[in-house]
Amino acid sequence: MISIKNTMQQDGIRRSANLLSAVFSRIGTLIQPGITTLEIDRVVEETIKSGGGIPAFLGYGGFPASVCTSVNDQVIHGIPDGNTLKEGDIIGCDIGVILDGYFSDSAKTYAVGEIASDTQRLLDATEKSLRAAIDVCWPGNRVKDIGKAVTESIKPYGYGVVYSYCGHGVGLSLHEDPQIPNYYPSRGLNPRLKPGMVIAIEPMINAGTADVEVLEDEWTVITADGLLSAHFEHTILITGKSPEVLTFWGS
């Protein structure tokens, strides 16, 4: 069932998203060659807790960390560890916050130092596809319009749009209805967007094939061909007019 949030709930989710945005602003200053993903996780957890929040991912389904750190060919759900980031790497940081019972969710793929031009092209194209998806989030449009916008945005690049994972409703819990595929055409329900819906849109774009595999840790998703992957996500409020982007990543 799709939850329509009232004004009080929208305000609570907005506060949660503000704390999450502060977390991204913090880690954006730290991601550079030499840092470990475990160090990033510690900063994420400390920043969330110091703001009065709870890391939404920590313990969720048994996940052992406060942030998903997905490096290079890792698509999503990478587990922080003691490995050091190197010049030219990319790292997707996916983070959720619970504040006063309200949930927000966002992700950004960061460059580690100087990256290759074709790698930057992948990041730029993925972020552009997220913006294209947000631009169609007007009341009366449908969920599948979002996936169509992502697909059409990515098509000129020849990248693979991940179809095994999708966006989702968010706000009163971490994962709510509706599911929001990033590709088109797609199966499943196609409800209209209505004011008061809060959704997390998160295109995951691979430099090569759209196919993915899951590692033995049963969490980390990697590209099937070993090529790079990028992931960007925002929490969005559907309003009576243009969509309101609740999360931001800082500079």
* Domain ranges for the chain: 7-245
Asked if the model's pLDDT at residue 251 lies above 80, the reply is no
pLDDT in tens, 42-81: 999 999 999 999 999 999 999 999 999 999 999 999 999 9
pLDDT in tens, 121-160: 999 999 999 999 999 999 999 999 999 999 999 999 999 9
Residue 182: per-residue pLDDT: 96
Owner of token pair 């998160």: 202
Residue 24: per-residue pLDDT: 98
Q: DSSP secondary structure string, 196-230?
A: T-EEEE--EEESS-S-EEE-TTSS-EEETTS--EE
pLDDT in tens, 218-227: 999 999 999 9
Q: Does domain 7-245 have CATH number 3.90.230.10?
A: yes
Q: Determine how many CB atoms are found less than 10 A away from the CB of residue 175.
A: 16
